[in-house]
Structure 1
């Protein structure tokens, strides 16, 4: 049997707390799971620093990637197969793209990307197209197959329907991470009736649409996403840990570029610090490597780096207050000066952090990132945009919510015994906001 159609002699299953079982019958999928690049995802947490807030959030990108694959497999094999407007020749392409969509995530994912101006999707494509075990497996399907998988992940593949299964406002990626993250954090917000949504999905030329009878299940899905972002993903304690993590990486890079004599040289970071990172070097980075450096850097002579590493590893996080950049910039500038007087570097210890989310958006042509809205399939065959049919979705549609907080080390302020006046001025400004 030709490799693209080759099946395992016996179906393999992964026991999964969200989907009960993840089923693998295709030899290609089984071989991809066994590659070193995919196994690396076991060593990268799905939720970055969230484990410091919700202690159960230790699950990995590996878990999530298998979950997204399983949802796409069920949509194609159980719902789409033999339906008009679905081309079953693209089945394997969809399964591979679903499995590999997060392959390029680095340690502590989004924090890492933000500091070093990296893009996990670009690295995913580079791993798929580079000299890797994943590329070898994909090329056995056909010489141009890796390029097709990379195009699906880049959202440039010719079939928008294929892309929408993995990247849209209701896709397999979101449906997995909402339920998986809710399960591992122990919250109830991320639960919705996925079984119902899968049953009412239908293929159309340019996207997956939902039968009108499934509208209430989709409303539930959108509201669960809204709640998860504000109750879990943007939790202020998690953001505090992210602020410290970000500042550690900034400090280490700054010291490296200033030729600081590290006791533990950041060998794994050299190429990233110097903006010359290759796929091969990137793949050597995972969270166990990063935490090894943080552990070692606690002993560095540089007080800022050693203090920040101790804080992160021992969960001695920054305190925070609500902050309005429109009306409180004067206060922030005053605090900056007072921190300098107190000998506390405001660059590393006085940080404004912002979070924002758009739970659902209708179509806005010409926007930098055009979000295709969710369409409902009416019994007469027409398509209607979700927010025009649902009052619940209409109420949050197109409304971006933004939250700003000011983070600072309360313990360092409390220890300013020799600078009592400065200490009281800092306290007064911070307390004024709370009152």
Structure 2
């Protein structure tokens, strides 16, 4: 028996600062939003430690996920009746858009880096595992959760559906750029999404943009470039990430050495042991992490105590520019001097690098490349964006990388006067 898409008796709306309203008509979507796994996203910030830099950046993965769903809903409304659009894929697209980030952990990227986790794998595990989300999805069909997971994994057979969720001009990026700009208070991430949506067209393999909309897409790509360097890679945010990473490394090391915590890291045991279950993973959110950090401010271990106090009270590391081609000799000397005066360089000296590829054309044979943007020309031909736009062509395939060296300036300032302190300051001042 075919699934009958049940509609709500009355449309539900969420008031949204970016899209004005998020509209929900399908009972399936409404029920997915109500699951415990999706509600958990209220307790995971969208931008991790960025709130230390931009105090308004307290918005959650829940906000963003609703926004991605809403953009896809609007695109589908525009695609209705057009060639290449199969409306039987509608619920699949909406579900995948809503759930694409459900596997994010607390302080996502730092958390993943320390414990070698992949939020996309956890997203698929939540969708296909023993969860409330899985039970709701299975009401469509037994294989519907698998299809949703395949869309998010970019392996689903209908590439047009995949491109709505994951391409260089997908609903994910279009929401987070505007949402992150709104909550951080910056002007960089704004672009004319209304115009882009109006000129989007479905093809057999992906979404394309009518040539007349090229300038709106140029603006979108430059907005993305500015957001990465002014917000996402802000050095103060990265300083907080460095400290967060060091806290997790320290706690794990102490646990492995048999240290007796005054506040035992019960929620972290499976992470430290490398055998995380789905139940363990879903029990973690940022409120849990901050609870432990607040308690670890009173631990006997001086390093864990100091790092947690820094994180909770925003006493972050300072930074200097670091040139990886010429700076390693000075870094080696700095490490030696730090160790001489009892500053543990495993926790108090870190080179952090960030790099961005604002737009890239497809490179055959390379893994992980997102589908490029194609323009639909008046004669029906498809042309890759950078072949038509001088602005995009000028940044295509160009990766910009930034390196910073982070250190605790208060530790340096409090050193006794002498040759070692003098030399440390000379190195840090360039």
Q: TM-score, normalised to structure 1's length?
A: 0.98
Q: Which residue of 2 aligns with 1:289?
A: 288
| Distance in 1, Cα, partners of 2:114 & 2:223 | 29
Residues 105-144 of structure 1 correspond to what in structure 2 (within 5 A)?
A: 105-144=104-143
Q: How far 1:371 moved relative to its partner?
A: 2.7
| Distance in 2, Cα, partners of 1:370 & 1:111 | 23
Q: Which residue of 2 aligns with 1:371?
A: 370
Residue 7 of structure 1 pairs with residue 23 of structure 2:
no
Q: How far 1:420 moved relative to its partner?
A: 2.4
Gaps of at least 5 residues in structure 2 are none
Q: Which residue of 2 aligns with 1:21?
A: 21
- 3-state SS of the aligned residue for 2:102? coil
Aligned Cα RMSD in Å?
0.9
Q: How far 1:4 moved relative to its partner?
A: 4.5
Residue 341 of structure 1 pairs with residue 327 of structure 2:
no
| Distance in 1, Cα, partners of 2:364 & 2:262 | 53
Deviations 1:294-321 (A, max 9, x none): 0000111111100000000000000000
| Distance in 2, Cα, partners of 1:4 & 1:396 | 47
Q: Which residue of 2 aligns with 1:208?
A: 207
- 3-state SS of the aligned residue for 2:97? helix
Residue 400 of structure 1 pairs with residue 396 of structure 2:
no
| Distance in 1, Cα, partners of 2:183 & 2:371 | 30
Do the aligned partners of 1:200 and 1:210 also contact (CA within 8 Å) in 2? yes
Q: Which residue of 2 aligns with 1:62?
A: 62
Q: Which residue of 2 aligns with 1:389?
A: 388
Q: Which residue of 1 aligns with 2:42?
A: 42
| Distance in 1, Cα, partners of 2:270 & 2:204 | 43
- 3-state SS of the aligned residue for 1:242? helix
Do the aligned partners of 2:29 and 2:95 also contact (CA within 8 Å) in 1? yes
| Distance in 2, Cα, partners of 1:381 & 1:5 | 35
Q: Give the direction of change, closer, same or farther, for the CA distance of 1:128–1:304 in structure 2 (3 Å limit).
A: same
Deviations 1:23-76 (A, max 9, x none): 000000000000000000000000000000000000000000000000000000
Q: Which residue of 2 aligns with 1:311?
A: 310
Q: Which residue of 1 aligns with 2:180?
A: 181
| Distance in 1, Cα, partners of 2:257 & 2:169 | 46
Runs of 4+ in 1 over 2 A off after TM superposition: 1-4
Q: Which residue of 2 aligns with 1:420?
A: 418
- 3-state SS of the aligned residue for 2:204? coil
Q: Which residue of 2 aligns with 1:228?
A: 227
Do the aligned partners of 1:3 and 1:28 also contact (CA within 8 Å) in 2? no
Q: Which residue of 2 aligns with 1:148?
A: 147
Q: Which residue of 1 aligns with 2:323?
A: 324
Q: Which residue of 2 aligns with 1:356?
A: 355
Q: How far 1:421 moved relative to its partner?
A: 1.9
- 3-state SS of the aligned residue for 2:351? strand
| Distance in 1, Cα, partners of 2:33 & 2:392 | 38
Q: Which residue of 1 aligns with 2:103?
A: 104
Q: Which residue of 1 aligns with 2:85?
A: 86
Do the aligned partners of 2:166 and 2:370 also contact (CA within 8 Å) in 1? no
Do the aligned partners of 2:125 and 2:278 also contact (CA within 8 Å) in 1? yes
| Distance in 2, Cα, partners of 1:123 & 1:363 | 27
Deviations 1:267-298 (A, max 9, x none): 00000111100111100000000000000001
Q: How far 1:369 moved relative to its partner?
A: 1.5
Q: How far 1:199 moved relative to its partner?
A: 0.4
| Distance in 2, Cα, partners of 1:2 & 1:51 | 47
| Distance in 1, Cα, partners of 2:311 & 2:367 | 36
Gaps of at least 5 residues in structure 1 are none
Q: How far 1:2 moved relative to its partner?
A: 7.2
Q: TM-score, normalised to structure 2's length?
A: 0.99
| Distance in 2, Cα, partners of 1:244 & 1:60 | 21
Q: Which residue of 2 aligns with 1:31?
A: 31
Do the aligned partners of 2:247 and 2:304 also contact (CA within 8 Å) in 1? yes
| Distance in 2, Cα, partners of 1:128 & 1:174 | 22
| Distance in 1, Cα, partners of 2:337 & 2:227 | 37
Q: How far 1:3 moved relative to its partner?
A: 5.5
